[in-house]
Structure formats: structure tokens, C-alpha cells
Amino acid sequence: MKKSAVVLLAGAWLLNACGDDTAAPPQDQGVADLAVPIDLRGGPADLSGSGDGGGATDGGNVVDAFMCTASAFVSCNGNNAQYCNSTGNGLTSFDCGAACNATSMGCGQCTGDTCTGGQLTACDTAHQNTGATTTCVTLAADGNGSSCNSGGTACQQCSGTSVCGDGVSYGTSLNSQYACNGNGTLGAATPCALGCDPVTGQCRDLVPANDGRANVKAGDTFTCTGTQDATLAALTAGTGDTLTFDTTAFTIKKVNGPTTTDYTAMSKWGVSYKPSGSGTNAIVAHVKSVAVTAGATVVVTGSNALVLLVDGDASFAGAAGSTTIVKLAGTRASGAGPGAPTTTAIGAGGGVAGSVGGGGAGHGTDGAAGGQNSNLGTAGTGGQAYGGAAMTEALEAGATGGGNGTAAGGVGGGGLQVTACGTLTVGANVIFNASGGGGTAGGGTTATAGGTGGGSGGTILLEASSFAGNAVAGELVSNGAGGGGGGALGNSGGPGGEWDPTMTPTTVASGGTAGAVNAGEGGKGGVAGTAPTAGGNASTLATNGAGGGGGAVGRIFLNASPIATAPTATSASPAAKVSTTCVTSNGSPPGNCVYP
């Protein structure tokens, strides 16, 4: 028996010159792209699968395997739409759930998704079958709604100018700002380093601690999310450079031997002010970026504490044998740190006259009392702690130790705040020093034999969108100084010790030595976890002086973005208080910044 060839038809029956030219398509055909096997001698093949060689038969004529256009509609069979399978050699059926529509070549229920009244009805366009209806979620800054797009073919994704989201669950994780296009579709994402404000639909901006944003130069603006001033100074300092911020002269200069680089004209300085809750005068300097590398020295000096606002990154790097030091300490040699002393009265050590010791200055803790000479008056009291309200981070300089009627007490360390929009890096072999200055010795050429109190440490406040490595690898130190040693007429005591960068952060500054056998030593300064000690007592002889009390530690604060990992600082004295930066709410700074 001779096998006939199989021919694939599209849109009409192929007529064989020797066969029947009246053959019709299968029942309910009505399709333009029909593919069926036929017997070249006659009509449509029998698709029963019986016959010679497993092929289809028609009146004893054997045809080859069934062939059709892959996935094309073939015919209706009641509620079922029949389609060619994906390999083009058989049929598949799809249940329309209602009568199949041969004219539409499928279920005939839809041709695309439709949206009405915030309800989206999906369409299986391959089968023209209506799917499930879901409620649209339209993102908006003031609260999500349910709206359709203007064409009624899809949900409106968003409304307004911009919305918050994370790219998958919009409005759930508010870390990115998405533009809302004019047709209601979400546009490109802008990652928000400080989180996204769901009320405005825009990235939150950083609000510097201590009123820094409100005290920039007139006409200047500090912003991390808006337009920044491209003309501001990009500060750099490397090996052998000394970069000095003078908060009295309002200058920034870098000196290396005979070479001076003056950044003053490219920086913007505000005017002196007192931050809320602080007794310290401060001033804002605004720059583009800071890049301090190994072997540099940074000095902050002057009558105001410094609030340094940085539009980009601020990096302080060091290396073994090439330490980078940021100096704002108070010392007997150079005087008080920037902004010191604070006018917060409770911080100063109690002054005395004669042969009793002056009290040490307080700050992060209370200062220590001076030593006593029982027949010659009351010793100076230690100054009280200040600037430490639980939810505030006041930029306070250190306080002065109590004097002895002739000489003033030890000076306080200064205040420095660095606020960076970008990443703040404090590498290993970098030291920030805001420690207090040592008390003055008693005795010697005057009859005023009592030592004076040690000065307290100032404030180091570092805040940024993020910290490199989520850590401060260098040392942050704001220790108290030792009180001066008591002496006698003709016999001077020793000055109070001061912390210096050759020491470990928790090395205690010693009290001054006694200048006579019956005089008192100065008290030791405070460090992290160790309170300052009182000055030593003297004998009842009027010529013998007691020691001054030790000064207290200052304060250290680290603030990172509310969505960043909190930084750690393992080499800090005192221990750093870690919190989050203050950020805008509803597009504006909050009435009170809170630092939990």
C-alpha cells in the first residue's frame, strides 16, 4: 500500500489534481491558519491515529504524522479552544469556562488587561481568557490609593512627583526615592543615604547637630540631597602638612615649610553663636570635602568651637610610624582648646586662696575636689558634670580648674564637630585629642602654696551618612588633666600631668608632685571608667600647700544615618555615645533633634 505525502496548509485546503476538490475543514473550523495533514488523493486525513505504521489513515491511504503551526488556534470544541502544541505535532485544549468563539480564534473574552475603578482585570491574551481581578496599589507621598491609568489598561503605579520605596515592595522599605512619571509609572530610583520621607516622597536630608544648618554664612545652604556649591574648598593635607582652622580669624591654611596654601576664600564661615543647651561659643565652617593622609597634623584653635560641615566625604588616615593628629586639647603651653572655657558655670572647679587646693573641672563626670589644709580654709570643690542630657549632644568645650588666688586652674579641651554628607573615615594611627590642660603648681616664690585644679576634656562629635567599615579605627580621646601639686614658699610643686598622643587612650594623667615634705600631691585626671582623684592634703603649717583636684573627662559622640549600621569605637576615652543623625521630617528640620 503506497503512503501519501503530508502537506501543511495555512489558510485554505490544498487541492490535489487527482483527488476530490470539495474537501471541507473539520467541524466548527472557522480559522484562517489551520494546519492539518491530508491524503493527496482525497479529503482531510483521519486523525484517529489508526492504520498502517502508526500513522493516520483515510480510506486505507496511510499518511505521515500530524503537523501544524506551533501554538496556533485550530478549532473550537464546545467550551474548549483547541491549539497546536508547542512542537507542532499535536493538539492541546484550553477550557474557556464558557463557549469557545471560533470567530475570535480563542475564548473571545478579552484582548488585553482592563482597569476600571482601581480594579485590574487580567487577560490571558494567548487564549483570550479573562483572569482574576485585583485591587490596584497607587503609591503616593500622602498615602497609597487605587487608581487606573488614563488608558484604562493598567494600574496607575504612583501619583505626585516622587514616592518612597525599595523597588519591590514600594512604600514598605523606605530606602529609595522614585520619580513618578507623568503617565503614572515609576521612574528611576535614587538611593537615600539618610532614608526616604514618606510624607514628601523624597530623600531625607541631614540636619547637623548643634544648630549647624541654621548658622551657616548668610546666603549659604548646607544640604546633602539638594544642590551643593561646587566652588567650596576640597581640603587636603599629607605628610609634613599642618592644616589649621582658626576660629577667631576665620581662616583655613595649610603650611609645609615655606609653602602655604590658603583655603579661606573657598570656605564659608558663619558667625559665632551658642548652640542650644551649650555654654560654648561655636562657629560653622562649610567646605566641599576633607582628605587628610598619613603624617599630617590638623590644628583647631581660637575662641570658638568648630562645626565643620562637609558636603562630601571626610577622611582622616594614618600609618604606622606616621600618625595623623587632630589637636584641640588644652595645654599649659598653648592655652585652652577652641571654644574653651565653657560658660556653663557648674563645670568650673572651685577656686581657693592660700594653701588649700583648687577643685578639678567637671564635664563628662564631676571633677575632683582639691586637697585640704585644715587650719587654712575650705578646699576647692570639684566642678559638676554638664552637657549630658540623655537626648542631646551639646558641643561643649572643657571647663577650667579652680585657681589658688594667684594662678588660674588648668584649661579645658576644645570642641570639634565634623558633619559629613558622605562617608566619614577615621583610620588606624589617627588621633583626635580634646583633653584638658594640667593644673598649676603651688609654692615657689609666692606664699600661695596650694595647687590648682586640672582642666576637663572637651567634646568630639563625628556624624555622617556612614562610617567607613562601620567603625572608628583611630583613637578619640578627651581625658581630664591632673591637678597641680602643692608646695611651700621657696619650694614649688609640680604641674598637673596632661594626656598626650604617646599614651594609650586610658592612661591617666598624673597629679603634680608635692614641693615640700608636708605638701599635698595633685589629683589624677579622669579617663574612661576611672573618675578623677582629689588633691592630696597638706599639714597645718601655713607654708605647706595642698594639691589641686583632677579634671574630668569630656564627651565623645558618634552619629550615623538612621538606616546605616551603627559605628563602633574601641579606642575612645571616655566611651563614645553612639546614636543616629538628625534628619528632616516632612521636608523640614524637626523642632528638636533627638539623639537616642
Residues 233-274 have pLDDT tens digits of 999 999 999 999 999 999 999 999 999 999 999 999 999 999
Is 554 a residue whose pLDDT tops 90?
yes
Residues 11-33 have pLDDT tens digits of 333 223 333 333 333 333 333 34
Reported residue count of the chain is: 596
Which of 82-91, 95-104, 177-186, 266-275 bottoms out in mean pLDDT, i.e. has the lowest? 177-186
Is 3 a residue whose pLDDT tops 50?
no
Residues 121-148 have pLDDT tens digits of 999 999 999 999 999 988 888 778 899 9
Its sign, for the CA torsion 48, 51, 55, 61, is negative
8 A C-beta contact, residue 167 and residue 186: no
Residues 106-118 have pLDDT tens digits of 999 999 999 999 9
Is 214 a residue whose pLDDT tops 50?
yes
Q: State the pLDDT at residue 49.
A: 35
> In terms of C-beta density within 10 A (0-12 exposed, 13-18 middle, 19 or more buried), how is residue 333 classed?
exposed
Is 39 a residue whose pLDDT tops 50?
no
- What is the residue type of 330? G
Is 286 a residue whose pLDDT tops 80?
yes
Is 190 a residue whose pLDDT tops 50?
yes
Residues 263-277 have pLDDT tens digits of 999 999 999 999 999
Q: State the pLDDT at residue 50.
A: 35
Instruction: Report the alpha-carbon distance of residue 160 to residue 200 in Å, rounded.
Output: 10
8 A C-beta contact, residue 202 and residue 587: yes
Cis peptide before 495 (omega within 30 of 0): no
**Residue 299 vs residues 431, 434, 499, 547: alpha-carbon distances, Å:** 12, 11, 16, 31
8 A C-beta contact, residue 371 and residue 429: no
Is 282 a residue whose pLDDT tops 90?
yes
Q: What is the pTM of this model?
A: 0.82
Q: State the pLDDT at residue 508.
A: 98
Confidence of residue 64 (pLDDT cuts 50, 70, 90): low
Q: Average pLDDT of the chain?
A: 88
Residues 489-508 have pLDDT tens digits of 889 999 999 999 999 999 99
Which of 32-41, 242-251, 536-545 bottoms out in mean pLDDT, i.e. has the lowest? 32-41
Its sign, for the CA torsion 504, 557, 401, 539, is negative
8 A C-beta contact, residue 15 and residue 42: no
